[in-house]
Structure formats: structure tokens, C-alpha cells
Structure 1
Amino acid sequence: MTGMMLSWTFWALASAVFAALTAIFAKIGIENVAPDVATLVRTVVILVVVAAILTATRGWQAPSTISGRSWLFLILSGVATGASWLCYFRALTLGDAARVAPVDKLSVVLVAVFAVLFLGEKLSPAHWFGVGLIGAGVVLLSLKI
């Protein structure tokens, strides 16, 4: 891999691009589809794609090599992801993608707060200012004006 592809910023930006496409594709795809069914389809596609990637890269790992603590938190993460997706698709059926997606990204603000509270991470005043700007942006984008 190139140096750029080993950078967290490369992968975070790629994630943002795919998340943006997710909102657009989902908004188009949920026409006349129940949001929970749309979530199931999305989940099955993800399962197949990730299984194919693991097979192609020989990245499979024996379940017995994963600690109980890791299992617990991965399962909790999966439950939270599923709940997030169900809520997201429901919101997309009721609102505009250009307003739903930014409100969904309020998760950025919540991650910063939770990371400080639960993981002991530290944010500088400049970082907190940025988090505040994201929060303010979410509020502005959610208003129907």
C-alpha cells in the first residue's frame, strides 16, 4: 500500500464519500420500499461484500481468537449500527436526504463527547470549537427555511 493509503485521513475521507453516496442511493432506492426492508437489503449486501473481501484477502479470523470483551463490544456495536440504520432509513422516507444526512452526522459531535467521557480522549480548545461548528451546522441544515 502507498503511504497515503496507510493514513487514517485517507480512509476517513473515503468513508465520508461512501457515506454521502449511501444517502443519495438510499433516498432513491427507498421509493415504494418499507424502510425496514431497505435496511435488510443493505445489511445483506454488506455481509456479502465484506465476506468476499475477507475471502479475497484471506483475512478470515477464527472466532475463538477473539476475546470475550471484544465479542461483547462488537455485538453492541452491531446492535447500535442496526438501530442507527433502521432510524436512518425511516428518516429518509420522511425527509429530504440533504437534511437527514447532516442531522445523522450529529453523531460526530456525540462521538467527540463520548470519547472524552468514556475513552479518556483529550480534545484541544480548537477541536472543541470544530465540534461546536459541526453542531451549529447540523442545526442550520436541519431548519426548514
Structure 2
Amino acid sequence: MQTLFQVTSWQFWALLSAVFAALTAILAKVGVSDINADLATFIRTVVILAVAAILVTATGQWRAPGGIPPKTWAFLALSGIATGLSWLCYFRALKLGPASQVAPVDKLSVVFTTLFAISFLGERISAKAALGIVLIAAGAVLTTLK
């Protein structure tokens, strides 16, 4: 557990990601209340683009586009498309439903990611991790029941 709070650990950044994802749901639910979900997604995307550009500039990480391998471009483009579709669906769901139910169902992405990682990347998980994935799925389903 000691590595959880080290800035160089993946656990630290994953936990921050979860906190910011939670804030995203709450802030987006309020933000999408008075406008179309697609417009809300566009505004969010512009803000993210600006923040990412500032971060890349501030850390000196800019690279010449020609120096990036075509495979990298292709997979990042596909990832961007998937992200955009995910956000559009997420904002539409937030517009239509309660954040307390939308967010847990959205977290089924953890289950899907694990299944895809096993199927396409050849990753293996322990029985304990598999149980955790089953519990995440069960929890998402339980949040949607009335």
C-alpha cells in the first residue's frame, strides 16, 4: 500500500483518474442541464484540448509529427474516435438519467477493458482479480435496479 501514494506509481495516477472521473460526472451533470448533450461534449473537448496543449508545451513534450510512427498515429486516432463516441454517449446518458446510476454503468468499462485485455493483449488476471471484476459488474447492475 505504500506505493499507492508515490507520484511515480501507476496506482497513484489511477486513483487520481478515478477522483477526476467522479468529479467529471457531477460537474457534467450540472453543466449539461441547460444545453444539448452533444454541444456540452464539444465544449468539454475544446477545454481538454487546451489543457493538454498547455501541459505538453509546459513539459516540453512536443514532437514533430513526422517522427511519430504510423502505427502510433493509427491507434491513437482510433482511441480518439472511441473516446469521442464514449463521451457523446456518456453526456447523453447524463442528460437523461441520474449521475448516481449513469456513472456506475459507465464503469462497466473496467469489465470490458479487462475482457479486451485478456482477449486481444493476452493479459492474464488472478482469480482474485476476476472476482473483483465480477463484483464491479454486479455493482453496476445493482445500481440500475429500482
- TM-score, with structure 1 as normaliser: 0.96
Q: CA deviation at 1:61?
A: 1.4
| Residue 108 in structure 1 maps to residue 110 in structure 2 | yes
State the percentage of identical aligned residues: 59
Count, aligned residues: 142
Unaligned 5+ runs, structure 1: none
Q: Structure 2: any 5+ residue segments left out of the alignment?
A: none
CA distance in 2, matches of 1:52, 1:136: 40
Q: For the residues of structure 2 that align with 1:91 and 1:20, how far apart are their CA atoms?
A: 15
C-alpha separation between the residues in 1 aligned to 2:145 and 2:96?
A: 15
In structure 2, the residue matched to 1:64 is: 66
For residues 118 and 65 of structure 1, what CA distance do their matches in structure 2 show? 27
Q: CA deviation at 1:65?
A: 1.5
Find the counterpart in structure 2 of residue 99 from structure 1: 101
- Specify the SS of the correspondent of 1:21: helix
The alignment yields a C-alpha RMSD, in angstroms, of: 0.9
Q: Partners of 2:109 and 2:144 in 1: how far apart?
A: 14
Structure 2 residue matching 1:69: 3-state secondary structure: helix
Aligned twin of 2:46 = 44
Structure 1 residue 138: deviation in Å? 0.4
Q: What TM-score do you get using the length of structure 2 for normalisation?
A: 0.95
Looking at structure 2, the residues matched to 14 and 38 of structure 1 have their Cα atoms a distance apart, in angstroms, of 23
Aligned to 1:16: 18
- Equivalent position amino acid for 1:84 in 2: S
Render the CA deviation track for 1:39-65: whole Å, top value 9, x for unaligned. Answer: 000000000001011111111111111
Structure 2 distance, partners of 1:90, 1:139, is 19
User: Could you list the per-position Cα deviations for residues 25-49 of structure 1 after superposition, in whole angstroms to 9, with x for gaps in the alignment?
Assistant: 0000111110000000000000000
